[in-house]
Amino acid sequence: MEDMNNQNYSRTLICSLILLLFCSLNVKGQAQVSYEGSNLELTVTGTSTLHDWHMTTSAATGLIRTIQKDGSIFIESAEVEFLAETLKSGKKAMDKNAYKALETDDNPKISFQLNSIELKNEFKGSVEGNLTVSGKSQKVTMDISLVVSGNQIVVTGSSDFKLTDFQVEPPKVLMGTIKTGNEVSIEFNTTFKTK
């Protein structure tokens, strides 16, 4: 009887050790890490019948959640947002027309939420996600490059889209003699650091 109890104890001990070892390996092999970004810089560029233009903000915030597994980093989720009225062109009249077109009183924020990411290699590829402008969301694809260094991830990239995709009427001034082009580009060079 004592031998049987000893065998049962040994089996329980071995099973517990195996379970503990498996859990330890799983935690060691796969870790979740969050990277925060603040004062992120983004530039929106476009054309008009008078000249090309750009508006820049350095007030965006964001968060990237990653899973580190077997020495590689996999992006699980990402989001960026900023107040539309932090976009500045250096020309007050142009800014005012842009905010009016974007209806910033009712829709103050512009945001991007990651849906999927496809990397051709470890550092370059494309992301697809929901871009929300003037309260309207559309799926967009962005080309990106990643640099992972120590406790930070630097993300650069760009995307082209049309204002009318978000039901935004391209601004006009001077009785419509100067009109903004419908196609715009967004470019970003952003740094996220571990929380």
Asked whether residue 37 is assigned to any structural domain, the reply reads yes
- pLDDT beyond 80 at 26: no
Asked whether residue 16 is assigned to any structural domain, the reply reads no
Binned at pLDDT 50, 70 and 90, residue 7 comes out as low
* pLDDT 10s digits, 170-195: 887 655 557 888 899 999 999 999 87
Q: Do 88 and 55 contact (CB within 8 A), yes or no?
A: yes
pLDDT at 17: 32
pLDDT at 59: 94
**What is the domain extent for residue 38?**
31-194
Asked whether residue 11 is assigned to any structural domain, the reply reads no
Query: DSSP secondary-structure letter at 85?
Result: G
Cα distance between residue 140 and residue 120, in whole Å: 18
pLDDT at 3: 53
Q: State the CATH number of the domain containing residue 81.
A: 2.40.128.110
Asked whether residue 169 is assigned to any structural domain, the reply reads yes
Asked whether residue 12 is assigned to any structural domain, the reply reads no
Q: State whether residue 35 is helix, strand or coil.
A: strand
Asked whether residue 4 is assigned to any structural domain, the reply reads no
φ, ψ dihedrals at 14, nearest 5°: -65, -45
pLDDT at 85: 97
Q: How many CB atoms lie within 10 A of CB 145?
A: 13
* 102-123 mean pLDDT: 91
* pLDDT 10s digits, 41-95: 999 999 876 778 899 999 999 999 988 777 677 888 999 999 999 999 998 988 9
pLDDT at 154: 92
Mean pLDDT of the chain: 82
Asked whether residue 23 is assigned to any structural domain, the reply reads no
- pLDDT beyond 50 at 15: no
Asked whether residue 58 is assigned to any structural domain, the reply reads yes
* Domain count within the chain: 1
Q: State whether residue 23 is helix, strand or coil.
A: helix
Sign of CA dihedral 160, 165, 168, 174: positive
